[in-house]
Amino acid sequence: KNKATKERFTSDDPVTKGMNKLLVELGLLIRTEGSFFLSPPLNVTKSDVDEMVDIVEKTVNWAERQLGY
């Protein structure tokens, strides 16, 4: 949220809420509160990981646009 003070986004922040909504819409159920918390199953495949990374990348790009980066 603030690079200088390293203040983190809270769960009620509009950007955090938007990221969570987009992640669900794209098919990835994870928590975001300043960090991403992933818990893939033990039998995760490379293809699954590639898809998760693509979804996270799209979501981060969305958040950057919202913040003017």
> Model confidence over 33-69: pLDDT tens digits?
667 788 888 999 999 999 999 999 999 999 999 988 8
Q: What's the pLDDT at 35? A: 75
CB within 8 Å of 48: residues ≥ 6 apart: 40
Mean pLDDT of 29-36: 74
Label residues 12-39 b or e (16+ Cβ within 10 Å = b). eeebbeebbebbeeeebebebeeeeeee
Q: What's the pLDDT at 16? A: 86
The larger pLDDT score, comparing residue 10 to residue 54, is at 54
